[in-house]
Structure 1
Amino acid sequence: MVPLYVGAQLAGSLLASLTLRLMFKVTPEAYFGTTPTDSAARALVAEIIISFLLMFVISGVSTDSRAIGELAGIAVGMTIMLNVFVAGPISGASMNPARSLGPAIVMGVYKDIWVYIVGPIAGVMAGGFVYNFIRFTDKPLRELTKSASFLRSISPKQ
């Protein structure tokens, strides 16, 4: 199912980018994708952090039975808005590799594209891991770090 989802995301990004390029006769000089405004390292860190936050919030409002489901959209939307305000000037706040790959492929502009592939993937993996670490442990954090029981709670049962 995941490959189908990834394919649909990429196809949508490519088609949207192609449509924009054809409708507005965009040239590579007027690139509409995301590129770092400063250094690739700063953009990478920004993408990791905002993707982490987005995944953490999505995990909390969509998978936790204690969450109020009717407010999930507001929580996710506010997280995206804050991410864009904070990281937009640094990296463009992509948070999704497909969002950056589509314009890059259509326009042929691949400057630091790795930032927008590695950053969001690393961020969402870390966000999901940390959320699961917090959610699936039933002891206070101070007890977990003393006994390292959190490692047993996420390892496969023998």
Structure 2
Amino acid sequence: MAATKSDTITEEEISKVEEEVIGTYFVVFAGCGSVAVNKIYGEVTFPGVPVYIAAQLMGSILASGTLALLFEITPKAYFGTVPVGSNAQSLVLEIIISFLLMFVISGVSTDNRAIGEMAGIAVGMTILLNVFVAGRISGASMNPARSIGPAIVKHVYKGLWVYIVGPIIGTIAGGFAYNLIRFTDKPLGQLTRTGSFFKSASAPS
């Protein structure tokens, strides 16, 4: 029996699968790698923060360059984030979803009521829900590096400021907001010195 159109895997679908493999590779490499480095070489200190920002930007540019070499990236297939509607609409969305993400991360990393083993699931589900809500409109960046890398590689700078300003405002507000309801017997200074939210969330009170 001849295969129907729905039974045939198209080149576009294959490309999407390849993109998922590559994207997941870099996410896992960066995420798990940072935890491993933190545990091997010690906690992230304040002087090391700019280095981590530079590392994120470099990783984003390299990953974007790799994708650009592997695939024929047309304007329609651009893998960066560009506001679909107005800049203001995307800015508000990026502030809100970044707020929610930081709020959840703060909860699982600094609150004695959090269950350490569930931290990854909580953060992952928050990102997933944020993508469902804002993905079609703003691209659901939630991280300036995620947007800056593709923009530099493909020279697409439309609305880029939205993805720098929005996540910064949202994450700062989310962190401060959770601090108002945080429940722990540890001082905030001690909590912010640890680089692994699994470690701080599962540590005995």
TM-score of the pair, normalised by structure 1: 0.83
1:22 matched to 2:83:
no
Q: Distance in 2 between matches of 1:29 and 1:103?
A: 14
Would you say the 8 A contact 2:110–2:182 is kept in 1? Answer: no
Structure 1 segments unaligned to the other structure (5+ residues):
138-158
What secondary structure, in the 3-state scheme, does the structure 2 residue paired with 1:89 have?
Answer: coil
Residues 31-70 of structure 1 correspond to what in structure 2 (within 5 A)? 31-70=78-117
Moved over 6 A (4+): none
Residues 107-126 of structure 1 correspond to what in structure 2 (within 5 A)? 107-126=154-173
| Aligned equivalent of 2:136 | 89
What secondary structure, in the 3-state scheme, does the structure 2 residue paired with 1:91 have?
Answer: coil
What secondary structure, in the 3-state scheme, does the structure 2 residue paired with 1:126 have?
Answer: helix
Q: Distance in 1 between matches of 2:77 and 2:159?
A: 17
1:129 matched to 2:176:
yes
Structure 2 segments unaligned to the other structure (5+ residues):
1-47, 185-205
Tell me the CA shift for residue 31 of structure 1: 2.1
Percent identical: 76
| Aligned equivalent of 1:152 | none
Would you say the 8 A contact 1:50–1:83 is kept in 2? Answer: yes
1:8 matched to 2:52:
no
Q: Distance in 2 between matches of 1:76 and 1:12?
A: 21
Tell me the CA shift for residue 25 of structure 1: 3.4
What secondary structure, in the 3-state scheme, does the structure 1 residue paired with 2:141 have?
Answer: coil
Letter paired with 1:113: L
RMSD value, Cα: 1.5
Letter paired with 1:62: S
| Aligned equivalent of 2:36 | none
Aligned residues: 137
In structure 2, relative to structure 1, the CA distance for the partners of 1:61 and 1:136 (3 Å cut) is closer
Letter paired with 1:45: V
Would you say the 8 A contact 2:61–2:150 is kept in 1? Answer: yes
Q: Distance in 1 between matches of 2:86 and 2:136?
A: 12
TM-score of the pair, normalised by structure 2: 0.64
Tell me the CA shift for residue 29 of structure 1: 5.9
Q: Distance in 2 between matches of 1:89 and 1:130?
A: 27
